[in-house]
Amino acid sequence: MRVITQRSIGGPEVLEIGRAPVPEPLPTEIRVRVAAAGVNPVDWKTRAGSGMAAVLGPPPFTVGWDVAGTVDAVGPGVTRFAPGDTVFGMPWFPRQAAGYAEFVTAPSRHFAHRPAGLSEVEAAGLPLAGLTAWQSLVDIADVQPGQRVLIHAAAGGVGHLAVQIAKARGAYVIGTASVAKHDLLHDLGIDEAVDYRAEAFERVVEPVDLVYDLIGGDIALRSLEVMKPDARMICLPSAAAADAMAAARERGLRATGMLVEPDGDGLEDLTRLVDDRRLRVVVAETFPLERASHAHRAGELGRTTGKLVLTT
């Protein structure tokens, strides 16, 4: 099979197309013929030596954790899927899943049936970003109707899904994004869109119950100014959480980081939102597998609205 690999840590140019044996599923695993693979910030950070590089170990390795495709084979003990089923998932994270390939194998419970309302390309953009948002807003924060939620980078890969999940939970949602992205945010149901380039959000946003910071740095620290006394802040990337948590503690506030994990049940929750037409995936651009380096370059510019996806 074709696979994207890298023999050294470095820039996008280290990604190269190669060949590898088609993997065989072990007991409780399925093999998926990958139609599309999502591209996430953790992919290019890992490629460059941060992200999950310490987990994967020294190169050669293959990045990528978001996949959508068709079940090609099942191992003994698998009862949830059969060959021919269309599925999507985020297998093995943070261990190597080698999603930038034509086939992957992983435990069946790292996947869910692909919702009829999503194409394979859209479904490939949902698992990691969608589960990150779901586990943050639902499992950790337990967002309730009427709560005020501030989402930074609201039009990005995780952000645009978080907006929709928070709205589905009945929250009043405020998001920061450049003004060019405000129309999209309003289409997604956001209540207030703040142009972070034109005004300091902490001066115009009324106190909130939850801050979901997808940027880090001084954004997290400035967000403390708009938190209610009993509010919570969840910070991604998690590396940015330490300073925010320390600053929050000094003010008697709560801040935490998080790291997404495989969750078949969470994928099914996201599927129900898609089926109910309360969640859609915005795909900014697709690239053929062999142009993975171009996808990384596009992602590292930091201007993407929605998701980047590779197609096989």
Any idea where the domains of the chain sit in the sequence?
A: 2-126+281-311, 129-257
Those residues whose C-beta lies under 8 Å from the C-beta of residue 167, and which sit 6 or more positions away, are: 173, 188, 189, 190, 278
pLDDT at 243 over 90: no
CA pair distance 92, 45, nearest whole angstrom: 17
E-strand ranges in 40-102 read 66-74, 86-89
pLDDT at 239 over 90: no
CATH homologous superfamily for the domain 129-257 = NAD(P)-binding Rossmann-like Domain (3.40.50.720)
Task: Assess whether the previous peptide bond of 60 is cis (omega < 30° from 0).
Answer: yes
Q: Please state the pTM of the whole predicted model.
A: 0.96
Q: For 49-77, what is each residue's pLDDT tens digit? A: 999 999 999 999 999 999 999 999 999 99
Q: For 86-116, what is each residue's pLDDT tens digit? A: 999 999 999 999 999 999 999 999 999 999 9
Those residues whose C-beta lies under 8 Å from the C-beta of residue 301, and which sit 6 or more positions away, are: none
pLDDT band at 220 (very low <50, low <70, confident <90, very high): very high
Read off the pLDDT of each residue in 143-154 and give the average, rounded to a whole number: 98
Q: What is 2-126+281-311's CATH topology?
A: Quinone Oxidoreductase; Chain A, domain 1 (3.90.180)
Are 306 and 282 a contacting pair, CB within 8 Å? yes
- Nearest CA to 304 out of 158, 162, 196, 122 is that of 158
pLDDT band at 244 (very low <50, low <70, confident <90, very high): confident
Read off the pLDDT of each residue in 268-274 and give the average, rounded to a whole number: 98
Instruction: Quote the Cα angle for 58-62-64, to 5°.
Output: 125
Average pLDDT, the chain: 96
Cα 77 from chain centroid? 29
Are 126 and 273 a contacting pair, CB within 8 Å? no
* pLDDT for 19: 97
pLDDT at 165 over 90: yes
Q: For 111-143, what is each residue's pLDDT tens digit? A: 999 999 999 999 999 999 999 999 999 999 999
